[in-house]
A = this chain, B = another copy of it.
Amino acid sequence: MRFYDDISVGDVRHSEEYTVSKSEITTFGEKYDPQPFHIDEDAAEDSVFGGLVASGWQTAAICMRLHVQSSEDTAAQVGVGVDNLRWHQPLRPGETLRLRNEVIDKRPSESDPGRGFVTTRHEGRNQDDELVISYEATAMVRRAPAE
């Protein structure tokens, strides 16, 4: 098990890939982001996107899945916050996302000696290596148990 103490600034991980389907985009959109360009193919064609696109929150959720998969060896990560979340371009039906994570900061908790904060820069790119989403996420991670 990888704890706070085992994580170093500069650590980089690459995720698996995730391909999003049209029905997954419209299902998420109908539930959480019912704007025409996420749920209605005809209306989406007349929109600024020229076709159906995934909700930006769905793109972020897919990144979370890829991150969880690529850090299964790490102690539970409790999300504290996210900064500089940017959607650079949309994710369309049939497109594939993969994630690159890099640890950019870590610091012990001042109030809880058993935990520390780790900040990771996430970049999600599509099948053409174009940047789709980026953000910096801070999570609380357990410190290694005392010997």
Contact = CB atoms under 8 A, between A and B. Distances in A.
Interface in A16-49: 28, 31-37, 47-48
Interface of A: 28, 31-37, 47-48, 55-58, 60-62, 64-65, 68, 76-87, 135
Given A57-B57, A61-B57, A65-B33, A79 B83 contact: no
A36 B75 CA distance: 11
Contacts of A28: 61
Given A60-B57, A61-B57, A36 B76 contact: yes
Q: Is the interface of A mostly helix, strand, loop or mixed?
A: mixed
Contact of A57 (B31, B64, B84, B87): B64
Contacts of A62: 32
Contacts of A78: 48
Most buried by B among A47, A57, A58: A57
A78 B60 CA distance: 15
Contact of A61 (B61, B65, B81): B61
Contacts of A80: 86-87
Nearest to A79: B56
Contact of A82 (B33, B55, B65, B82): B82
